[in-house]
Amino acid sequence: MEGDKKAGAVAEKKAAAADQSKEVAAGDVSLKELSRRLNDFAKERDWEQYHSPRNLLLAMIAEVGELSELFMWKGEVRKGLADWDEAEKEHLGEELSDVLLYLVRLSDMCGVDLGDAALRKIVKNAVKYPAPSKEQGA
Ligand X SMILES: Nc1ccn([C@H]2C[C@H](O)[C@@H](COP(=O)(O)OP(=O)(O)OP(=O)(O)O)O2)c(=O)n1
Q: In the range 36-65, which residues lie near ligand X by CB under 6 A? A: 47, 50
Which of 101, 114 has the CB closer to ligand X?
101
Q: How far apart are CA 49 and CA 6, in angstroms?
A: 28
Q: In the range 6-35, which residues lie near ligand X by CB under 6 A? A: none
69 scored as a contact of ligand X (CB under 6 A): no
Which of 88, 126 has the CB closer to ligand X?
88
Is residue 102 a contact partner of residue 38, using CB atoms and an 8 Å limit?
no
DSSP class of residue 111 equals T
Is residue 50 a contact partner of residue 92, using CB atoms and an 8 Å limit?
no
Which of 4, 46 has the CB closer to ligand X?
46
113 scored as a contact of ligand X (CB under 6 A): no
Q: In the range 79-98, which residues lie near ligand X by CB under 6 A? A: 98
Is residue 63 classed exposed, middle or buried when 0-12, 13-18 and 19+ CB atoms within 10 A define those classes? Answer: buried
Write down the least CB distance from residue 78 to ligand X, Å.
25
State phi, psi for 52 to the nearest 5 degrees.
-80, 160
> What angle (nearest 5°) sits at the alpha carbon of residue 42, between those of residues 40 and 43?
65
Write down the least CB distance from residue 53 to ligand X, Å.
13
Binding ligand X by CB under 6 A: which of 34, 101, 106, 109?
A: 101
Q: How far apart are CA 32 and CA 19, in angstroms?
A: 20
Which of 8, 71 has the CB closer to ligand X?
71
Q: Where does this chain bind ligand X (CB under 6 A)?
A: 47, 50, 66, 98, 101
